[in-house]
């Protein structure tokens, strides 16, 4: 089976070809335009997707050494994401499927982040827990089967990636802030700035209080020393990163105990964070868990994960019809 998959939910235009469950190509065009605005500008994202989609698809087909005529299905991200961005990928996928007279497969972007774990070895065994941490979501997912998942913990306000990006912006760092904080934190030392530890009794998260606490802390320090940020940027980044990651680890420990599961995975853009990767590996040794950490290219948005999800949907013959429309919010 040969499937072409398209991802266009945010600011990466990506296309991937999967043949019999093996990813043959994964082309990603990251939109640089948003950097100068300090965040993703939805209208500009749609426009860039419109410009990039054909070249990216052509490259993905070329790299996989196949032509459109050989394709058995077209998959696309239906949601969640920016509506205008999703429309570009959806319309393209529908048109191509229609003209080739082949099935159309809709994919949930958050399920795809989880299924990125099935692209390469080692693969987790069901049931496993996946901590999906990205720009728009923070979820603890109980994964019962390829397409059978349940969110057992989520954020009540900001996503953890958003917390990284927003605090980075306060510090004057470029977008995407998570990457910058990770980089600078490596040269810093974790300090006791008295940042709050928000702990909800269930498996849910809350990050907005921490964000506000960081803002007030910085303002207060700047009144005493206007160069506070500049002089302490590495330590500030290390402390913020540490605080965010501690929260994630506490909740995944709680979830593993509650569900009695020792197969633990991380996924999504924030799973590219070097400290989170290191701490999860250490935690795995300590708790005797099997830990699954995606390759860097499969952490942030990519079409290979969409293709992998499409492979499983094709096996179950789960197809969409031509009236399907994208959804900015979409649950499993």
Binding site feature residues: 109, 113, 132-136, 165, 178, 182, 273, 301
The answer to whether 15 contacts ligand ATP (rule: CB under 6 A) is no
The answer to whether 134 contacts Fe ion (rule: CB under 5 A) is yes
The answer to whether 76 contacts ligand ATP (rule: CB under 6 A) is no
Instruction: Closer to ligand ATP by CB, 174 or 196: give it.
Output: 174
- Rounded Cα gap, residues 244 and 161, in angstroms: 10
The answer to whether 14 contacts ligand ATP (rule: CB under 6 A) is no
305 within 8 A of 113, measured Cβ to Cβ: yes
13-21, 26-34, 121-129, 264-272 -> range binding ligand ATP (CB under 6 A): 264-272
Q: Which residues contact 92 (CB under 8 A, 6 or more apart)?
A: 6, 53, 57, 76
Secondary structure of residue 147 in the 3-state scheme: coil
The answer to whether 111 contacts ligand ATP (rule: CB under 6 A) is no
Q: Which residues contact 242 (CB under 8 A, 6 or more apart)?
A: 185, 190, 275
Backbone angles phi, psi at 175, to 5 degrees: -80, 145
Q: Report the site for ligand ATP in 268-287 (rule: CB under 6 A).
A: 268-270, 272-273
Q: Shortest gap between Cβ of 301 and ligand ATP (angstroms)?
A: 4
- Element containing residue 98 per DSSP (H, E): helix 83-100
How many other β-carbons are positioned within 10 Å of the β-carbon of residue 83?
A: 17
The answer to whether 7 contacts Fe ion (rule: CB under 5 A) is no
The answer to whether 326 contacts ligand ATP (rule: CB under 6 A) is no
The answer to whether 165 contacts Mg ion (rule: CB under 5 A) is no
The residue among 133, 115, 163 whose CA lies nearest residue 249 is: 133
Number of residues that bind Fe ion (CB under 5 A): 2
Q: Which does 161 bind (CB under 5 to 8 A by kind): Fe ion, Mg ion, ligand ATP, none?
A: ligand ATP
Among 53, 77, 81, 261, binds ligand ATP (CB under 6 A): 81
Compose the 217-246 pattern: x for residues touching Mg ion by CB under 5 A, - for all others.
Answer: ------------------------------
The residue among 155, 185, 154 whose CA lies nearest residue 168 is: 185
Q: Which residue is nearest to Mg ion (CB)?
A: 11
- Rounded Cα gap, residues 269 and 179, in angstroms: 10
Backbone angles phi, psi at 108, to 5 degrees: -85, 120
DSSP class per residue in 201-254: SSS-B--HHHHHHHHHHHHHHHHH-TTHHHHHHHHHHHHHHHHHHHHHHHHHHH
How is the beta sheet containing 12-19 ordered, strand by strand? Answer: 22-30, 12-19, 2-7, 73-79, 104-108
Binding-site annotation: residue ranges for Fe cation? 109, 113, 301
The answer to whether 11 contacts Mg ion (rule: CB under 5 A) is yes
2-10, 85-93, 146-154, 229-237 -> range binding Mg ion (CB under 5 A): 2-10
Q: Shortest gap between Cβ of 262 and Fe ion (angstroms)?
A: 26
Among 84, 103, 153, 176, binds ligand ATP (CB under 6 A): 176
The residue among 300, 301, 263, 295 whose CA lies nearest residue 277 is: 295
Binding-site annotation: residue ranges for substrate? 132-136, 165, 178, 182, 273
Among 4, 280, 301, 313, binds Fe ion (CB under 5 A): 301
Question: Which DSSP state fits 161?
Answer: H
Residues that bind Mg ion (CB under 5 A): 10-11
Residues that bind Fe ion (CB under 5 A): 134, 301
Residues that bind ligand ATP (CB under 6 A): 9-10, 80-81, 109, 113, 134-137, 161, 164-165, 176-179, 182, 268-270, 272-273, 300-301
């Amino acid at each position: 089976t040969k499937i072409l998959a398209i991802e266009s939910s945010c600011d990466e235009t990506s296309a991937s070809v999967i043949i019999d469950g093996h990813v043959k190509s994964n082309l990603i065009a990251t939109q640089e335009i948003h950097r100068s605005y300090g965040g993703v500008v939805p209208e500009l994202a749609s426009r860039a997707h419109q410009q990039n989609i054909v070249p990216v698809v052509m490259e993905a087909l070329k790299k996989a050494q196949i032509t459109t005529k050989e394709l058995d299905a077209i998959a696309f991200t239906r949601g969640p994401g920016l509506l205008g961005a999703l429309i570009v990928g959806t319309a393209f996928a529908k048109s191509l499927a229609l003209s080739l007279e082949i099935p159309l497969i809709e994919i949930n972007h958050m399920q795809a982040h989880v299924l990125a774990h099935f692209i390469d070895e080692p693969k987790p065994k069901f049931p496993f827990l996946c901590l999906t941490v990205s720009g728009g979501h923070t979820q603890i997912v109980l994964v019962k089967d390829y397409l059978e998942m349940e969110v057992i913990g989520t954020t009540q306000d900001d996503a953890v990636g958003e917390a990284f990006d927003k605090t980075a912006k306060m510090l004057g760092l470029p977008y995407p802030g998570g990457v910058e904080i990770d980089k600078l934190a490596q040269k810093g030392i974790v300090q006791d700035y008295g940042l709050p530890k928000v702990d909800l009794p269930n498996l849910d998260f809350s990050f907005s209080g921490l964000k506000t606490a960081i803002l007030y802390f910085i303002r207060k320090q700047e009144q005493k020393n206007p160069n506070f940020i500049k002089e302490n940027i590495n330590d500030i980044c290390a402390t913020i990163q540490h605080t965010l990651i501690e929260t994630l680890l506490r909740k995944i420990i709680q979830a593993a105990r509650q569900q009695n599961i020792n197969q633990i995975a991380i996924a999504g853009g924030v799973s590219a964070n070097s400290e989170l990767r290191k701490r999860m590996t250490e935690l795995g040794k300590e708790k005797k868990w099997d830990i699954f950490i995606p390759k860097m290219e499969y952490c942030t948005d990519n079409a290979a994960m969409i293709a992998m999800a499409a492979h499983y949907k094709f096996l179950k013959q789960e197809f969409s019809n031509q009236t399907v429309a994208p959804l900015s919010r979409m649950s499993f």
